[in-house]
Amino acid sequence: MNLDLDRLLTLSNLNGVPGREDAVRDFVLGELEGLADEVRVDAMGNVIAFRAGREEGGEPSHDDTPGSKKERVMLSAHMDEIGFLVRYIDDKGFLRVQALGGFDPRNLFARNVTVQTRTATLPGILTPGGRPIHISSQEDRKKVPELREFFIDLGLDAEEVRRQVRVGDMVTLDQQARRMGDLVVGKALDDRASVFMQLEVLRRLKGRPRHDVYAVFSTQEEIGLRGAVTAAYSVQPTVGVALDVTLAVDTPGVGPDEAVTRAGEGIGVKVYDSSMVSTRWLVDVFADLAEARGIRYQLEVLGQGGTDGAAIQRSRDGVPTVTLSLPTRYIHSVVEAVHVKDLQAGIELLLAYLE
């Protein structure tokens, strides 16, 4: 399977924190032209693309075996990335920020950032307050600052900062995505890599799928699965399949029992995370299908974390749901890394299910 990875690089480079996914949404809407029977944007900013399934001929089926009837399948991959909002401007023009999503402060020292105002895009530096190494003590150097200690320097005087910036403006970390061996590396691959996979599935889905498909590109996942909650209520799916990343801690310093998944060894089929227990028969359907088609997969148990799958599963009177998880190294950093073979496996497995 040949993939146009330039599309993924472009998605990674776009900026869009929760509630500010506009640039990503515009890209997705452009990519969806000709790929769906109907596309709409709801009040939360979710993009919902509908692809009608095959017409069922003959007598109605009385087979109640899971997967035997035509379903309303909701797919969901989130467009937002972790980032910040401006929460305060001090009297010297330095900005303080509100985190949107889970950050490890150890990854935030001396980072280039972009502040998106109403009228301009401003470059800045994010770093914690305190002494530089030349005048710091041994105790200073051991300390890991809290997020509230970080500030942004825009290189402008206070009056100019106040003229251009206001509380609520979006802040994102700067990083250009690139290929590195068999990996694609960049910011926001959580969850732009899944957005890419979902678009590729729609692009490669020939004719009518087996089921009615609602491909949702959701908002505000990083702060509580908010877009998926309203999308699932609207779509009323009978089956849910979330697409998201998961940990691939197959790197030095961590034991094999804590790796969760391993890069290059196939798409993850989620069994459990702290937000949901995947519906068992759906786990079996995807695992059996992968084995029958020779698609590499890994069963995944993640101790902490959640996906849009939890929002779908709890919608209305409950929805059978599973998550396909893309193994990703260095999650919630600017160098998130996914393996091309795992992207291919995820696309192949979801295509096989829908067809």
Catalytic amino acids?
A: 221
Q: Residue 31 corresponds to which tokens in the numbers above?
A: 């990519």
The DSSP letter of residue 59 is: S
The full DSSP string for 194-206 is HHHHHHHHHHH--
Cβ contacts of residue 318 below 8 Å, gap of 6+? none
Measured CA to CA, the distance from residue 318 to residue 73 in angstroms comes to: 14
* Sole residue written with tokens 């305060």: 88
DSSP 147: G
Which pair of tokens denotes residue 249? 């801690």
- Beta-bridge partner residues of 97: 86
* Main-chain dihedrals φ then ψ at residue 336, nearest 5 degrees: -60, 140
Contact 156, 93 (CB under 8 A): yes
C-alpha 39, offset from chain centre? 20
CB atoms within 10 A of CB 348: 22
SS3 for 283?
helix
Rounded-to-integer distance, Cα 299 and Cα 260, Å: 9
What span, in angstroms and rounded, lies between the C-alpha atoms of 240 and 227? Answer: 14
**Closest of 210, 211, 221 to residue 243, by C-alpha:** 221
Contacts of 74 (CB under 8 A, 6+ apart): 214, 216, 231, 232, 235, 237, 239, 240, 241, 312, 319
Left if phi > 0, otherwise alpha if psi is -120 to 50, otherwise beta: which for 78? beta
Structure tokens at 174: 């700067």
